[in-house]
Amino acid sequence: MEINKELLLIGQKAKNASRRLSFSGTQAKNKALTAMAGALKERQEEILRANALDVQAAEEKGLRKSLVNRLRLTKETIQEMSRSLEEVVSLPDPVGGGEFWTRPNGLRIQKTRVPLGVVAMIYEARPNVTVDAAALCIKSGNACILRGGSEAIESNKVLAKVIAEAAEENGLPEGSIQLVGMTDREYALQLMKMNKYIDVIIPRGGAGLIQTVIENSTIPVIETGTGVCHAFVDKDADFAKAVSIVFNAKTQKPGVCNALETLLVHQDVAGEYLPLIGKKFQDFGVEIRGCEKVLRVLEYATQAEAEDWGTEYLDLIISVKVVKDLDEALDHIYMYSTKHSETIITENYTAAQRFLHEIDAAAVYVNASTRFTDGGRFGFGAEIGISTQKLHSRGPMALPELTTIKYIIYGDGQIVT
């Protein structure tokens, strides 16, 4: 595949920048990040004007309200992006950390963390990813190439320009932060073939995007997965907790990967619990798609189809199923889980421990909302995504996950005999 000249230039600049970034000190990186945070606040009107163009175009295209909301920026969200950069400044620099030991022959070996090099991000509608990804890459000593979706192109162009200029004006090399401004799918496919310049590629978005990258990339991929997240309300659940947790997991921010998509309810408590959560959902405008047992209790629910159990709605829709027991709940989750986040609501210690031990997912909860699966809420600062694969990282990916290992060996003439 022939690579577009503009893409090649982006790759070359990023590769050159990554060399200098790899040995940039913590103070230099923090200075740039602080300047980037200030620039976002200083140029917020410029950012909001660009974002208004994206929002208007999305509304004219008839995109779902949840998708438009993911796209929309406000003065408050820009302030949040600025604060997230300041939080990254306060986090420990992962580069250079590691272990040190001495072998019997006198060799001193240091296992140390080093940057990955050039990180390419391909993502969809959320403009804040532009800032979060750049911040984490810079702090971990990586150059980044950002390719956002067409829905947010005007916002991303301005955001990338603002933070890249601030970084370069404060000492970071040109090409440390770059945005691919061409939104045609063909250019994304070309980007996935640029092994010479890019060390790792991270897709962040819906199932279609992620699958496209996995199938077409010749660059190593860190898969950030879709979130078909489940909650199981056990027969020994505290109903007050179960209503609060499930409602929060579904409605607090429905358009994100850690939002709840499927609710499983133990048959022994379905008659009591479903009307409680059903009323909350109905009042909030959540569409309930239920199995036959759910429909007997909630007359306003609609019949769930087979495909509902594996669907990531990213909207005010939830599939609900009554299950016989914990075993059936575990079997259902095993069948349909995308291995993102799963939660059980129960006061039964044995049931909780079985759920924790038998569920294979990046994050498994007892009596808490799946919405906590987030780098910031885990105390990592901004995140670059939630990895649902097992190599080379899993769960919220923050600074340490953007580094790799290098061995440094100090000798004094030792040879192998």
Query: By CB neighbour count within 10 A (0-12 exposed, 13-18 middle, 19+ buried), where does 176 fall?
Result: buried
5-225+389-410: which CATH architecture? 3-Layer(aba) Sandwich (3.40)
Residues 6+ apart with CB under 8 A from 116: 140, 142, 199, 200, 402, 403, 404
In terms of CATH, what superfamily is 229-372?
Answer: Aldehyde Dehydrogenase; Chain A, domain 2 (3.40.309.10)
pLDDT of residue 366: 98
pLDDT of residue 1: 80
* Alpha-carbon span 251 to 318, nearest angstrom: 10
Q: Which residues pair with 200 in a beta bridge?
A: 119
pLDDT digits (tens), the chain, 417 positions: 899 999 999 999 999 999 999 999 999 999 999 999 999 999 999 999 999 999 999 999 998 887 888 899 999 999 999 998 999 999 999 999 789 999 999 999 999 999 999 999 999 878 999 999 999 999 999 999 999 999 999 999 999 999 999 999 999 999 999 999 999 999 999 999 999 999 999 998 888 899 999 999 999 999 887 899 999 999 999 999 999 999 999 999 998 899 999 999 999 999 999 999 999 999 999 999 999 999 999 999 999 999 999 999 989 999 999 999 999 999 999 999 999 999 999 999 999 999 999 999 999 999 999 999 998 899 887 788 899 888 888 999 989 999 999 999 999 999 999
Two tokens at 339?
Answer: 């291995």
Strand 403-410 relative to strand 98-102, pairing: unpaired
* Alpha-carbon span 368 to 352, nearest angstrom: 12
Chain region(s) in the chain for CATH 3.40.309.10: 229-372
Chain region(s) in the chain for CATH 3.40.605.10: 5-225+389-410
DSSP 228: -
Q: What is the largest CA-CA distance in the chain?
A: 81
* Alpha-carbon span 364 to 344, nearest angstrom: 8
Count CB neighbours of 395 within 10 A. Answer: 20
For 93, 99, 138, 320, 406, the CA distances from 142, given in Å and listed in that order, are 12, 22, 5, 43, 15
The model's pTM is 0.87
* Alpha-carbon span 114 to 97, nearest angstrom: 9
Residues 88-99 as b/e (b if ≥16 CB within 10 A, e otherwise) read bbebebbbeebe
Q: For residue 257, which of 216, 204, 295 has the smallest C-alpha distance? A: 204
Residue given tokens 């909207």 in the structure block: 315
